[in-house]
Amino acid sequence: MASPPIPALATRKRRGSALAVSSPTAARQFQSRARLYGALDSRLHAKTRFFGAACITNRVLAHAASVGGALAYAGACADWLADLGAALEAVNRSLAEVVYQGTEAGPQLDERIVCIEQSVVEQSLRDARSSRFNAYLEVLQALDAILNHASWLSALHFSSTVRWYRRVLAGVRDELNSPLEFARQNHREKIGMALITALRRGESGACALLT
């Protein structure tokens, strides 16, 4: 399966405070992408559950970017994730078309797509580290808190999606026997594959999260 070209992240100028402007916009973008990936999962779930995992991840990020969520107070992180999400959407739409037209299916395909996606994330992190170091540090701090489910995840106990996501992350932390670090590509890939595996197994009502 050929990899699609990787688009550059957009650089947007903002007005006002990051909290006032970026987080609600980011939340809406995450919600929109969750709907897109949910639709792609409905179309392609027989071949890959990557898009189902992407749907759930974007729903969790939408909660995090909402008022009171972890990203609502981390404007640079919310903005970076929103811009990254746009780049990933372009890549993932191309991947979806390749998957639809191809014959490859199953865990090997899942792994290849996860690797392609996380290579895009890795390049974005490198760019941020070299050009916007302070924002880069804020991004990692906020995302590491989410991955290791700081108090905001417990506060969102009403969300079945967040509860399911927490259980998957806990399993990855147990497997690694260490906290999760967003800066490490192998950690991100393990999270992606753990989400996909849980969806394939239908663990704890996972499929119901996509309805």
- CB 62: neighbour CB atoms within 10 A? 22
SS (HEC) of 122-175: HHHHHHHHHHCHHHHHHHHHHHHHHHCCCHHHHHCCCCHHHHHHHHHHHHHHHH
- pLDDT by residue (tens digit) across 56-74? 999 988 887 775 555 655 6
pLDDT at 35: 94
What gap in Å lies between CA 57 and CA 195, rounded to an integer? 9
Which residues of the chain fall short of a pLDDT of 50? 2-22, 204
pLDDT tens-place string over residues 17-70: 332 333 557 788 889 999 999 999 999 999 999 999 999 999 988 887 775 555
* pLDDT the model gives residue 158: 65
Burial of 45 (0-12, 13-18, 19+ CB in 10 A): middle
CA distance between the termini of the chain: 29
pTM score: 0.83
pLDDT of residue 211: 55
Report pLDDT for 19. 29
Cα-based torsion angle of the residue sequence 109, 63, 32, 186 in order, rounded to the nearest 10 degrees: -20
Tokens 């078309």 identify what position? 97
Residue 62, CB half-sphere, CA atoms under 13 Å: how many? Answer: 16
Side chain identity, residue 158 = F
DSSP string, 1-56: -PPPPPPPPP-----S-HHHHHHHHHHHHHHHHHHHHHHHHHHHTTT--HHHHHHH
Predicted confidence at residue 99, as pLDDT, reads 96
